[in-house]
């Protein structure tokens, strides 16, 4: 069976807190597009393409990319996921959020077609549950600690703390959160490109006693060398990067060319596949 149709519908999710803020913007709602791929016998697969303006994907821009890309896959065999994605890369450069939504929808469709859970397509289930991380948006230290404690009381044990580049305020935020939630909760720090190398070194040194998990990448906006320099002087034990880093550097692994400056390196999130290349 081949792909018969692709539908793209808007998905706008309002935040419970309309003042939800990170270092680069206030985000009252999360905007994206739902992608539904249907084959000739009516089996459907669903995906989602989020718009993230701070890394180059606007709401209408993602829709424009989806319009171009989805028009080229009708009539193709949905099980040929790798072939379709190769084709999409040549039909339109970049636009990874739109392509990711199509990729997800194709995998969902194939799993439904085969009558198996999605994990079977990836080699089988390795665990029964996965802890979910929750983001704590920027507010005063006391407000962020209140929000963090509320999440922990609801059962969450992984928190990602948004900070904005002011060393004293950011360290105060993390210290207050750690004091309120205790030592058993895993904390990660996310500054979204708000730090300079100098301020990141200061923050890591002053806050190292309260970071339980890892300090995410210091989030500079000018390449891998400042990251390595900061790591050299910070006594930070790990270095993480994510989708922000991938879009900034065409090949994120080149940042690790500076690893002689740094201590052991970890790549977090969906860049785990780069670990083999970096070793």
pLDDT confidence band for 204 (50 / 70 / 90): confident
pLDDT confidence band for 210 (50 / 70 / 90): very low
pLDDT confidence band for 173 (50 / 70 / 90): very high
Q: Model pTM?
A: 0.74
- Average predicted confidence (pLDDT) for the chain: 80
pLDDT at 157: 94
- With 70 as the cut, is the pLDDT of residue 38 above it? yes
How far apart (Å, rounded) are the C-alpha atoms in residues 189 and 176?
14
Identical fold for domains 3-122 and 133-278, yes or no, is no
In sequence order, which residues have a C-beta less than 8 Å from that of residue 209 and are 6 or more positions away? none
User: Are 177 and 135 a contacting pair, CB within 8 Å?
Assistant: no
Weakest mean pLDDT among 79-88, 139-148, 204-213: 204-213
pLDDT at 208: 54
pLDDT at 200: 77
- With 50 as the cut, is the pLDDT of residue 149 above it? yes
Residue with more model confidence, 216 or 106: 106
Average pLDDT over residues 161-181: 91
Q: What CATH architecture applies to the domain 133-278?
A: Alpha-Beta Barrel (3.20)
pLDDT at 258: 44
Domain residue ranges of the chain, discontinuous segments joined by +: 3-122, 133-278
- With 80 as the cut, is the pLDDT of residue 256 above it? no
Distance of CA 199 to the CA centre of its chain: 24
Q: How confident is the model over 55-83, as pLDDT tens digits?
A: 889 999 999 999 999 999 999 999 999 99
DSSP states of 250-273:
SSGGGGGGGGGGSS-----GGGGG
DSSP states of 47-95:
EEEE-BGGGTB-HHHHHHHHHHHHTTTTTS-TT-HHHHHHHHHHHSS--
User: Which percentage of the chain shows pLDDT scores above 90?
Assistant: 58
pLDDT at 145: 97
Average pLDDT over residues 8-36: 94
pLDDT at 249: 42
How far apart (Å, rounded) are the C-alpha atoms in residues 106 and 39?
10
pLDDT at 189: 85
Q: How confident is the model over 138-148, as pLDDT tens digits?
A: 999 999 999 99
Distance of CA 272 to the CA centre of its chain: 12
- With 70 as the cut, is the pLDDT of residue 23 above it? yes
Q: How confident is the model over 242-251, as pLDDT tens digits?
A: 444 444 444 4
Residue 83 half-sphere exposure, CB side, CA atoms within 13 Å?
A: 6
Fold for 3-122, please state it.
Enolase-like; domain 1 (3.30.390)
């Amino acid at each position: 069976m081949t792909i018969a149709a692709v539908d793209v519908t808007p998905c706008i999710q309002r935040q419970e807190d309309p003042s939800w803020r990170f270092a680069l913007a206030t985000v009252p709602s999360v905007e994206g597009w739902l992608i539904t791929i249907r084959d000739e016998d009516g089996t459907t697969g669903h995906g989602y393409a989020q718009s993230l303006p701070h890394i180059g994907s606007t709401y209408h821009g993602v829709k424009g990319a989806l319009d171009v890309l989805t028009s080229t896959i009708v009539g193709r065999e949905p099980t040929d996921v790798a072939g379709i994605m190769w084709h999409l890369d040549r039909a339109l450069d970049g636009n990874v959020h739109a392509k990711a939504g199509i990729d997800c929808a194709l995998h969902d469709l194939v799993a439904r077609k085969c009558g198996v859970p999605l994990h079977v397509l990836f080699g089988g289930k390795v665990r029964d549950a996965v802890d979910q991380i929750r983001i704590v948006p920027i507010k005063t230290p006391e407000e962020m600690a209140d929000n963090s404690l509320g999440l922990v009381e609801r059962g969450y044990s992984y928190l990602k703390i948004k900070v904005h580049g002011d060393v004293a305020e950011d360290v105060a935020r993390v210290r207050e959160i750690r004091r309120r939630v205790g030592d058993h909760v895993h904390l990660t720090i996310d500054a979204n490109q708000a730090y300079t190398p100098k301020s990141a070194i200061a923050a890591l040194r002053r806050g190292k006693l309260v970071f339980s998990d890892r300090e995410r990448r210091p989030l500079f906006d000018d390449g891998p060398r400042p990251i390595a320099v900061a790591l050299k002087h910070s006594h930070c034990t790990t270095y993480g990067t994510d989708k922000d880093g991938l879009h900034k550097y065409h090949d994120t692994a080149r940042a690790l060319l500076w690893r002689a400056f740094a201590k052991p390196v970890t790549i977090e999130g969906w860049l785990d596949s780069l670990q083999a290349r970096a070793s």
